[in-house]
Amino acid sequence: MITNTELERKGDLFPSEITNYEKNVDVLNFVTKNGVALQVTILRDSVLRFRYATTGIFGNDFSYAITKYASRGYNKLEISEDNDHYIITTAKLICKIDKTDLKKSIYDAADETLISQDELGFHWEESYQYGGDIVKMSKVSPDGESFYGLGDKPVHLNLKGKRFENWVTDSYAYGKDTDPIYKTIPFYIGLHHKKAYGIFFDNTFRSFFDFAHERRHITSFWAQGGEMNYYFIYGPEMSDVVANYTDLTGKPHQLPPLWALGYHQCKWSYYPESKVREITTKFRELKIPCDAIYLDIDYMDGFRCFTWDSKHFPNPKKMVKELEEDGFKTVVIIDPGIKIDMDYDVFREALEKDYFCKRADGPYMKGKVWPGECYFPDFTNPEVREWWANLYKELVEEIGVRGVWNDMNEPAVMEVPGKTFPDDVRHDYDGNPCSHRKAHNVYGMQMARATYQGLKKFAYPKRPFAITRAAYSGTQRYTSSWTGDNVATWEHLWIANVQAQRMSMSGFSFIGSDIGGFAEQPNGELYTRWIQLGVFHPFCRTHSSGDHGDQEPWAFDEDVTDIVRKFIEIRYQLLPYLYTSFWQYADEGIPMLKSLVLYDQEDSQTHFRTDEFVVGDHILVCPIQEPNAKGRRMYIPRGKWYNFWNDEIVTGGKEQWVDADIDKLPIFIKEGAIIPKYPIQQYVGEKEIEQLTLDVFYKKGKENSTVFEDAHDGYDYIKGRYSLRNFKLTGKTNELIIQQYKSGKYITAYNTFKIELHGLPFKIFKIQIDNEEALFDDVRVNGDNTLVVTKDFSELHIIGE
């Protein structure tokens, strides 16, 4: 058994001097005297890939993480040499490779700041037991360096001084600092000298990261097998690092249907059917918006996937249809374990087709999960994935289920050491046969991918909606995710906030927590505070384990219900804003949640903040994370911000007290922002949108805003049927100018904007639209600083007296 390896051990091996160098377009190959090969690929001016082979021979180059759609190409590539180095120069970077030991130093090409420097650099330990090597890399970490990223780690946002392990793990009731948990995203961001870079270590074996923990000025990462294979991604803007990482590992393949950004209600479990209907009816009765209702494992017949318990759900198709008529989309759970049962067709078919995972010596991988003893499909086999995708035909195409959540796909196994498959289990790994040591971290990802493919096929022409618990880098292409089995405590509210931000800066924005906590029961106050945060997370779902009482918005007292309703209504009003931010994420890889350090890395005060974050471009949120609070101190980033509740303008760049009694949350809008709003609906599509409200926050100066709209489902937007509005706001002492640049072929149903002006420092005297004084037909100015204007103006001038 390989232990949690020390960073450097006696007997570690190192590359020696370079004896051979070859260049093939954008790939450079170096070979050392002791036979180590280093391959450097220049993907972009700011993205380099480094691969090492200790024997000089590289294995098949295959990755589940890297997307075939990743951008490639650079503006400049020069290779030169001095006495001691080979030197690679691109438009963004200079990388020097030491001729004597293969160590690298990477500099910003613009000002030659040293960004990343190998310490021991690449080194390794031979693994006699399994073959191959334990591959290691260490780098120098300068004073003042901060670290971020790494997926779902439930720790302080800044990872400095800590060590982490990556091994996808079912972690019921995990806590602060539990490591590892459900996801493996071996990507981190370093920030020093106000410049950010990223490292993506694309190795699926159990891996480790040490951020100046073992040694003060050293950062290292290593894995128990596979290749030292990593991507260096330069910013210097952190948001560009994240965007480039997301480009490499993939953006969501399509937008979610808009309803998926609505509010979702879940519990383990709502059954029988009458219970489901009782819940959905109550939402409509109490006028609490909700778009999705979930069925957990009890809807199945004896926990057999793709079956229904006919006693509790006698006519699923009818139920799903009637729920849909009331605006509720049905989402069901699917687990990987297939019950050993010769009378169960899914089991029999997989057995006949040889789709189940096997142990090294031949027996099937047998393990206990909810259905009892199970076998497990090998989702790393493309044929198995296709079969799995096709199993969704009935569920999705015939019954009309609109979403699927994949649980237990770490894979989780009950009552065994390690709670997962043993290391020797064999996997196809898309034609690169290997053991579970290599496939473990991608197993859940490949299951979710197959599920996504099934949904995509059978929901067509509607968009798929999938959710996964386990993930590896790249899973964001296929599905959304939740943070697993959290607990109804105040500490977990803090954790949920950190995890959602961290996932977002790890390229995976479509994330949310079980609102209120999965294990144990929140009181009304905790639930309220959690909803207030949750409505700003891309995935917004209440879920609980159910054995601790009810957790619906009305399960507490009436005050709670009213506040919860108010916040869910805010989310529904902000749907066009959230959707636009999702589009920016899917289109450009821009994280939907921006931690303050990502929002303003120049301001070193942001480097250790955890609680505050910006949603989309312009809305700053800070959750209340303790009981009995009337407000809190928070850091407001530089610039001027409007208090969402009273339009008071605050100047940021410092920590300050913000009032937030139980019915409020600190929310601020960046000055100059134009925020699009829809009317409150009980579910997406309940109303035709007859007018788009634009909340305009006056600023002396300039600010840009974007509004993306389309049919809210389907694929027409890919063919250009979308409506993209870029607004440029310019505020002067006596005038406010809004320029609109429109593109796309989608024609929105509404014809007018309702503009609500905030903080206008003058009284409106006249309005000009496209250089002409506006007539009453084109504009209606109300007494309360709101106006109604035709939607397709190019330039709107609001002129003061």
Is there binding between residue 124 and ligand MIG (CB under 6 A)? no
Q: State the minimum distance, in angstroms, from the CB of residue 78 to ligand MIG.
A: 51
Is there binding between residue 512 and ligand MIG (CB under 6 A)? no
Q: Interhelix angle for 273-285 vs 316-325, to 10°? A: 0
Q: State the minimum distance, in angstroms, from the CB of residue 243 to ligand MIG.
A: 30
The backbone region for 588, taken as left when phi is positive above 0, alpha when psi lies in -120 to 50, beta otherwise, is alpha
Is there binding between residue 484 and ligand MIG (CB under 6 A)? yes
Virtual CA dihedral for 256, 188, 132, 3, nearest 10 degrees?
-110
Asked whether the bond before 142 is cis by omega within 30 degrees of 0, the reply is: no
Alpha carbons 780 and 768: distance in angstroms, whole number: 12
Task: State the catalytic residue, choosing from 485, 552, 617, 703.
Answer: 485
Q: State the minimum distance, in angstroms, from the CB of residue 417 to ligand MIG.
A: 17
Please answer whether residues 471 and 445 qualify as being in contact, where contact means their C-beta atoms are separated by less than 8 angstroms. yes
Q: State the minimum distance, in angstroms, from the CB of residue 470 to ligand MIG.
A: 10
The residue (of 198 and 484) whose beta carbon lies closer to ligand MIG is 484
Q: State the minimum distance, in angstroms, from the CB of residue 641 to ligand MIG.
A: 36
Q: Which residues, 518 to 537, sit near ligand MIG by CB under 6 A?
A: 518
Task: State the catalytic residue, choosing from 8, 170, 410, 695.
Answer: 410
Tokens 């303008």 — which residue? 649
Alpha carbons 683 and 696: distance in angstroms, whole number: 26
Is there binding between residue 469 and ligand MIG (CB under 6 A)? yes
Query: Is 600 designated active site?
Result: no
The residue (of 550 and 795) whose beta carbon lies closer to ligand MIG is 550
Is there binding between residue 162 and ligand MIG (CB under 6 A)? no
Tokens coding 563 = 């506040």
Is there binding between residue 292 and ligand MIG (CB under 6 A)? no
Q: Which residues, 75 to 114, sit near ligand MIG by CB under 6 A?
A: none
Is there binding between residue 199 and ligand MIG (CB under 6 A)? no
The residue (of 181 and 333) whose beta carbon lies closer to ligand MIG is 333
Compute how many other C-beta atoms are within 10 angstroms of the C-beta atom of residue 546.
16
Contact residue for ligand MIG among 8, 210, 291, 407 (CB under 6 A): 407
Q: What is the DSSP string of 98-154?
A: ETTT--EEEEETTT--EEEEEEEEEEEEE-TTTSSEEEEEEEE--TT-EEEE-TT--
Query: Is 485 designated active site?
Result: yes
Alpha carbons 591 and 509: distance in angstroms, whole number: 6
Q: State the minimum distance, in angstroms, from the CB of residue 513 to ligand MIG.
A: 11
Q: State the minimum distance, in angstroms, from the CB of residue 528 to ligand MIG.
A: 22
Q: State the minimum distance, in angstroms, from the CB of residue 182 to ligand MIG.
A: 9
Please answer whether residues 388 and 447 qualify as being in contact, where contact means their C-beta atoms are separated by less than 8 angstroms. yes
Q: How far is CA 369 from CA 337, 366, 447, in A?
A: 7, 10, 16
> Which contacts (CB < 8 Å, 24+ apart) does range 36-39 have?
36/102, 36/122, 38/97, 38/102, 38/122
Is there binding between residue 297 and ligand MIG (CB under 6 A)? yes
The residue (of 211 and 465) whose beta carbon lies closer to ligand MIG is 465
Is there binding between residue 541 and ligand MIG (CB under 6 A)? no
Is there binding between residue 695 and ligand MIG (CB under 6 A)? no
The residue (of 172 and 460) whose beta carbon lies closer to ligand MIG is 172
Is there binding between residue 447 and ligand MIG (CB under 6 A)? no
Closest CA to 61 of 202, 218, 158: 202
Closest CA to 676 of 599, 718, 637, 618: 618
Alpha carbons 330 and 509: distance in angstroms, whole number: 23
Count of residues that bind ligand MIG according to CB under 6 A: 11
Phi, psi torsion values for 449, nearest 5 degrees: -65, -45
Alpha carbons 19 and 448: distance in angstroms, whole number: 45
> Parallel, antiparallel, or unpaired: how do β-strands 466-468 and 480-482 relate?
parallel
Which residue has its beta carbon closest to ligand MIG? 268
Query: Is 133 designated active site?
Result: no
Q: How many helices (H) and strands (E) does the chain have?
A: 12, 52
The residue (of 484 and 517) whose beta carbon lies closer to ligand MIG is 484
Is there binding between residue 410 and ligand MIG (CB under 6 A)? no
Contact residue for ligand MIG among 28, 276, 320, 333 (CB under 6 A): 333
CA dihedral sign, ordered 303, 307, 313, 318: positive
Is there binding between residue 709 and ligand MIG (CB under 6 A)? no
Is there binding between residue 725 and ligand MIG (CB under 6 A)? no
The residue (of 95 and 305) whose beta carbon lies closer to ligand MIG is 305
Is there binding between residue 336 and ligand MIG (CB under 6 A)? no
Q: Produce one character per residue of 404-438: b if its CB has 16 or more CB atoms within 10 Å, e if not.
A: bbbbbbbbbbeeeeebbbbbebbbbbbeeebbbbb
Q: Which residues, 263 to 282, sit near ligand MIG by CB under 6 A?
A: 268
Task: State the catalytic residue, choosing from 118, 125, 145, 407.
Answer: 407
Alpha carbons 60 and 341: distance in angstroms, whole number: 38
Is there binding between residue 736 and ligand MIG (CB under 6 A)? no
Q: For the window 225-264, what string marks contact with ligand MIG as x by the rule CB under 6 A?
A: ----------------------------------------
Is there binding between residue 600 and ligand MIG (CB under 6 A)? no
Is there binding between residue 154 and ligand MIG (CB under 6 A)? no
Compute how many other C-beta atoms are within 10 angstroms of the C-beta atom of residue 462.
17
Is there binding between residue 485 and ligand MIG (CB under 6 A)? yes
Q: State the minimum distance, in angstroms, from the CB of residue 481 to ligand MIG.
A: 11
Is there binding between residue 152 and ligand MIG (CB under 6 A)? no
Q: State the minimum distance, in angstroms, from the CB of residue 255 to ligand MIG.
A: 25
Alpha carbons 352 and 392: distance in angstroms, whole number: 19
The residue (of 408 and 692) whose beta carbon lies closer to ligand MIG is 408
Is there binding between residue 296 and ligand MIG (CB under 6 A)? yes
> Parallel, antiparallel, or unpaired: how do β-strands 667-670 and 47-53 relate?
unpaired
Task: Specify burial of residue 366 (Cβ count, 10 A radius: 0-12, 13-18, 19+).
Answer: middle
Q: Produce one character per residue of 111-141: b if its CB has 16 or more CB atoms within 10 Å, e if not.
A: eeeebbbbbbbbbbbeeeeeebbbbbbbbbb
Alpha carbons 47 and 92: distance in angstroms, whole number: 9
Q: State the minimum distance, in angstroms, from the CB of residue 521 to ligand MIG.
A: 15
Q: State the minimum distance, in angstroms, from the CB of residue 296 to ligand MIG.
A: 5
Residues involved in catalysis = 407, 410, 485
Q: Summarize as ranges the residues that interact with ligand MIG (CB under 6 A).
A: 268, 296-297, 333, 407-408, 469, 484-485, 518, 543
